[in-house]
Amino acid sequence: MKRLRLDRFSGQLLVARPGQCPASTPRSALRSSAVSRCTAVRHQSSQAAYQIPQDDDYYDGTDHVRFPPLEKLPPRATSLPSPPPERALQSAKLAALKARLSLPEKLPLQTLARALVDASADENAQFNNTSLAFVGQSLINYHVAEWLMCRYPRLPMEILYAAMKGYAGPTSLHQVARSWGVEHAAAPGGEVDPGLLQFSLHKPAKAIIGFGSKRAEAHGMKKYKWRHSVSNRVVFDDDFGEVIDPEAHKTELLARADTEYGNEYTRSLAEQAYATCARAVVGALYAHAGREPAKAFVKAHILSRTLDLSRLFSFKKPTRELSMLCAREDFEPPVARLLSETGRLSRTPVFVVGIFSGADKLGEAAAPSLEHARAKASMNALKSWYLYSPGENVRVPSDVLGAEDDRPWEPAYIDMGEIVGR
Amino acid sequence: MEAIVTRPAVSCCRRAVAAPGTAAPSRLLLLTTSTALPSGTRQKSTSARTRRALNIPPHPSFLDLPTTGAGKPAADGTTPARPTTDQIIFNPPSSAPSVLHTPFKFLPKSDPRRRANLASSLLAASTTLQYPSNPPTEASAAAAAAVDALPVVNPAMPTPRHHLSMADIEEMRALRAADPATHSVQALSKRFQCSKLFVLMCCQAPQEHRDKIAAEADKVKARWGPRRRQAREERGRRFEMLYRGEL
């Protein structure tokens, strides 16, 4: 067995454990030489030597000689929960983000920096992005909702909620913010670059849970499974029809706080922080540049995303729903007819079934059994009813507010309502 | 079939079928193809024969490529077996019509597409809009006749006649309550000339009868083996997947 030759190990390993390091080995001098090299650089620079804050109250044990700060920080910067606003002007990351998003000059960098500070990082509402995010989520949800209602006027309420969540929900806004190139700091603090998204995993109880109206009976709804109808959700709950239950969130957070990094929980916290940041950017844009740029921004970054609405549907009794639709609309009752088939007696038959109302074909589907094909064709017919669209470039009410479009407003198509109660 | 029709004995059968006649020749053909195969016909009895039989040339659409592609004779007169250039062969299967194409009947009255329904070019171009409901023309009548000729998958329920009065319904309820075993749902539907669904809508059997029926069903289910049980469960799960749009 060979002897371990400590002197051939890299110096880093030895320095990392100075107590274990044998003083007699020639490499043990590395540490002092590193220090001397570092200080020499300092002395040769044109700037004055950096004054290390000697405040004992806030000293966090950092070896400032070995790890000098990258830029000159204002006094007590490390003691602040988030970077001071004046540092926003020096951040290259922030300027790059602003340029990437083509944000107008009217939006100052300080506000953009504030949009990157989550409430879990800085509790002070004057420095975090809560207020901006509230404005932003109202705008985003308004634009998404009006576009969906004008573009797909027959969507059932549940599908509308799901589509709203698909466009403007936390998961998709998180992806939007990531696609902007927003990066997050490992931990928030005054010394962090203001161009980084800052949120805390250790005190997430201050983070925003959601925006909406809380129900007084939320506890009973969970305990006794009280009914929670769709029309009820229009008034209460959040914009995606989901119950906001802060107590449940809080207990969950307390139970899982300070776990190790990289688990499902920390990922969900990061997702929330990113979504809040994306909303806050829209809110900041509205506050400084006005309605039209904010609308264009929402259209470019959120409504431009692709969501296949036909995959959001699920049915309970499609054939019955379709007969109810035909009865309501005074169409002839639907009849399933076999359009073509192959291999009826084989292992893999294919039946193509069409649903006809009178002479009109409403839907068509192919499936390996007659029952499946009939159900699938009914579902397709119902989907083509629900996904009726007046056109691709349908006008929405907020178009009338724009200065460039002065045509008179024609009322949008309003459907009479859902076929079956859910 | 190829092998069969080349044989002289069967070719005379084919001639017999081709001649206008009664049902007898067709029965003869059936016999020939299914049971009475000649003993000399080569079957796919070995793996080598199966491989040879399955070794079919590619579809002409894959070979028929423009200019220097495959399928066209090259300079020396030979036909390359596969494309020689980097080309994307796009040969999509026929697919179901998109649900985003609204059928003509589903368009609201205010829609410009309905108002312009005389623009038959639009209707002809679309796969789903082939059967305009109005105005009724000769073409639409022909289309309706064509639709009526298609076989119906499930026979439509007869239109309700509304012939039962309140007294009849009361009588039905009394009968069902008095002796649910004799006056079953089917018996009542026959007696009152209505559907079984209507009987179920009108009256409900007493609790003990329902319990008895459920117990009988459970006894039958208890005798099922694992295969039948699993098959039924999977059938239910497949329908759930279908309704969620996953199949």
Q: Is the pLDDT of residue B151 over 70?
A: yes
pLDDT class for B139, splitting at 50, 70, 90?
low
Q: Best mutation site among B140, B242, B244, B247 for testing chain A: the one with the most A CBs within 10 Å?
A: B242
- What is the model's pLDDT at position A32? 32
Whole-number percent of chain B with pLDDT over 70: 61
pLDDT class for B82, splitting at 50, 70, 90?
low
Rounded to an integer, what is the distance from CA A121 to the centroid of its chain? 18
Domain range spanning residue A24? 6-44
pLDDT class for B240, splitting at 50, 70, 90?
very high
- What is the model's pLDDT at position B225? 96
Q: Is A363 part of a structural domain of the chain?
A: yes
* A134 and A154 in a common domain: yes
Q: Is the pLDDT of residue A306 over 80?
A: yes
* A349 and A328 in a common domain: yes
- What is the model's pLDDT at position A318? 95
- Strand, helix or coil for residue A237: strand
Q: Confirm or reject contact between B135 and chain A (CB < 8 A).
A: no
Q: Residue A201: which of A265, A285, A249, A283 has the closest Cα? A: A265
Distance between CA atoms of residues A5 and B62, nearest Å: 68
Q: Is the pLDDT of residue B127 over 50?
A: no
- The stretch B36-50 carries a mean pLDDT of 77
Of the candidates B101, B105, B242, the beta carbon closest to that of A376 is on: B242
Q: Confirm or reject contact between A323 and chain B (CB < 8 A).
A: no
Q: Is B21 part of a structural domain of the chain?
A: yes
- The DSSP element (H or E) to which A336 belongs, if any, is strand A334-342
Q: Confirm or reject contact between A356 and chain B (CB < 8 A).
A: yes
Q: Which of A69-73, B35-39, B182-186 has the highest mean pLDDT?
A: B182-186
Q: Quick count: other Cβ atoms within 10 Å of Cβ A108?
A: 16
Q: Best mutation site among A310, A361, A385, A389 for testing chain B: the one with the most B CBs within 10 Å?
A: A361
- What is the model's pLDDT at position A339? 94
Q: Confirm or reject contact between B128 and chain A (CB < 8 A).
A: yes
Q: When comparing pLDDT for B3 and A5, which is higher?
A: A5
* A353 and A297 in a common domain: no
For residue A159, what are its two tokens?
A: 């599908």
Q: Is B30 part of a structural domain of the chain?
A: yes
* A339 and A300 in a common domain: no
Q: Is A416 part of a structural domain of the chain?
A: no
pLDDT class for A35, splitting at 50, 70, 90?
very low
Q: Is B43 part of a structural domain of the chain?
A: no
The Cα of B15 is separated from the nearest Cα of chain A by a number of Å equal to: 27
Is the bond preceding B135 in cis, omega lying within 30 degrees of 0?
yes
The answer to whether the beta carbons of residues A120 and A273 sit under 8 Å apart is: yes
Q: Which residues in chain A touch residue B106, judged by CB atoms under 8 angstroms apart?
A: 362, 384-385, 388
* A383 and A246 in a common domain: no
- The stretch A17-44 carries a mean pLDDT of 36
- CB distance A374–B154 less than 8 Å? yes
Q: When comparing pLDDT for A244 and B194, which is higher?
A: B194
Q: Is B139 part of a structural domain of the chain?
A: no
pLDDT class for B90, splitting at 50, 70, 90?
low
Alpha-carbon distances of B61 from B67, B69, B81, B92, B168, rounded to whole Å: 14, 12, 13, 11, 68
Of the candidates A336, A366, A381, the beta carbon closest to that of B152 is on: A336
Per-residue pLDDT of A329-373, as tens digits, reads: 999 999 999 999 999 999 999 999 999 999 999 999 999 999 999
Q: Residue B120: which of B110, B109, B130, B107 has the closest Cα? A: B130
* A325 and A260 in a common domain: no
* A317 and A301 in a common domain: no
Q: Of A254, A288, A310, at which residue does a domain stop?
A: A310
- The stretch A113-139 carries a mean pLDDT of 95
Domain range spanning residue B19? 1-37
The DSSP-derived string for A360-387 is EEEEEEEESSHHHHHHHHHHHHHHHHHT
- What is the model's pLDDT at position A44? 39
Distance between CA atoms of residues B20 and A211, nearest Å: 79
Q: Which residues in chain B touch residue A379, judged by CB atoms under 8 angstroms apart?
A: 242-243, 245
Q: Is the pLDDT of residue A376 over 70?
A: yes
* A167 and A283 in a common domain: yes
CATH number, position A290: 1.10.1520.10
Q: Confirm or reject contact between A214 and chain B (CB < 8 A).
A: no
Q: Is B168 part of a structural domain of the chain?
A: no
Distance between CA atoms of residues A296 and B27, nearest Å: 74
Q: Is the pLDDT of residue A390 over 90?
A: yes
Q: Confirm or reject contact between B150 and chain A (CB < 8 A).
A: yes
Q: How many structural domains does chain B have?
A: 1
The residue count of chain A comes to 422
Q: Residue B107: which of A75, A150, A153 has the closest Cα? A: A153
Q: How many structural domains does chain A have?
A: 3
The Cα of A380 is separated from the nearest Cα of chain B by a number of Å equal to: 6
- What is the model's pLDDT at position A19? 40
Q: Which residues in chain B touch residue A311, judged by CB atoms under 8 angstroms apart?
A: 245
Q: When comparing pLDDT for B71 and A244, which is higher?
A: A244
pLDDT class for A387, splitting at 50, 70, 90?
very high
- The DSSP element (H or E) to which A321 belongs, if any, is helix A318-328
Choose the weakest-confidence range: A45-59, B15-29, B74-88: B15-29
Q: Which residues in chain B touch residue A373, judged by CB atoms under 8 angstroms apart?
A: 153
- Closest chain A CA to residue B106: A385
- CB distance B100–A387 less than 8 Å? yes
Q: Is B239 part of a structural domain of the chain?
A: no
Q: Best mutation site among A384, A395, A414 for testing chain B: the one with the most B CBs within 10 Å?
A: A384
In this structure, which long-range contacts are made by residues A150-153, counting pairs with CB atoms below 8 Å and at least 24 apart in sequence?
A150/A390, A150/A394, A150/A395, A150/A396, A150/A397, A150/A412, A151/A389, A151/A390, A151/A392, A151/A394, A152/A309, A152/A386, A152/A387, A152/A388, A152/A389, A153/A388, A153/A389, A153/A390, A153/A412, A153/A413, A153/A414, A153/A415
pLDDT class for B93, splitting at 50, 70, 90?
low
Q: Is A350 part of a structural domain of the chain?
A: yes
- CB distance B106–A388 less than 8 Å? yes
Q: When comparing pLDDT for A217 and A312, which is higher?
A: A312
Q: Is B22 part of a structural domain of the chain?
A: yes
- What is the model's pLDDT at position A171? 93
The answer to whether the beta carbons of residues A281 and A293 sit under 8 Å apart is: no
- The stretch A43-55 carries a mean pLDDT of 44
- What is the model's pLDDT at position B137? 57
Q: Confirm or reject contact between A314 and chain B (CB < 8 A).
A: yes
- The stretch A155-181 carries a mean pLDDT of 96
Cβ burial A345-380 (10 Å sphere, 16+ → b, else e): eeeeeebbbbbbbbbbbbbbbbbeebbbbbbbbbbb
- CB distance A379–B243 less than 8 Å? yes
Average per-residue pLDDT for chain B? 74
pLDDT class for A184, splitting at 50, 70, 90?
very high
- Closest chain B CA to residue A316: B243
Q: Is A345 part of a structural domain of the chain?
A: yes
Q: Which residues in chain B touch residue A336, judged by CB atoms under 8 angstroms apart?
A: 152-154
- The stretch A260-278 carries a mean pLDDT of 83
Q: Is A326 part of a structural domain of the chain?
A: yes
Q: Residue A363: which of A392, A326, A329 has the closest Cα? A: A326
* A190 and A173 in a common domain: yes
A·B CB contacts under 8 A: 106
Of the candidates B99, B108, B156, the beta carbon closest to that of A384 is on: B99
Average per-residue pLDDT for chain A? 83
- What is the model's pLDDT at position A201? 81
Whole-number percent of chain A with pLDDT over 70: 82
Q: Confirm or reject contact between A133 and chain B (CB < 8 A).
A: no
Q: Is the pLDDT of residue A31 over 70?
A: no
Distance between CA atoms of residues B141 and A79, nearest Å: 84
CATH number, position A382: 3.30.160.20
* A28 and A160 in a common domain: no
Q: Confirm or reject contact between B116 and chain A (CB < 8 A).
A: no
- What is the model's pLDDT at position B18? 39
Q: Residue A141: which of A275, A268, A287, A240 has the closest Cα? A: A240
* A172 and A152 in a common domain: yes
- Closest chain B CA to residue A308: B100
Q: When comparing pLDDT for A316 and B78, which is higher?
A: A316
* A23 and A87 in a common domain: no
Q: Is the pLDDT of residue A108 over 50?
A: yes
- CB distance A384–B131 less than 8 Å? no
Q: What angle do CA A251, A253, A257 make, to 5 degrees?
A: 125
Pairing of strands A360-367, A237-238: unpaired
Distance between CA atoms of residues B103 and A357, nearest Å: 11
- The stretch A390-418 carries a mean pLDDT of 87
- What is the model's pLDDT at position A128? 94
Q: Is B27 part of a structural domain of the chain?
A: yes
Distance between CA atoms of residues B72 and B62, nearest Å: 12
Of the candidates B97, B100, B245, the beta carbon closest to that of A314 is on: B245
Q: Is the pLDDT of residue A275 over 80?
A: yes
- Strand, helix or coil for residue B27: helix
Q: When comparing pLDDT for A206 and B32, which is higher?
A: A206
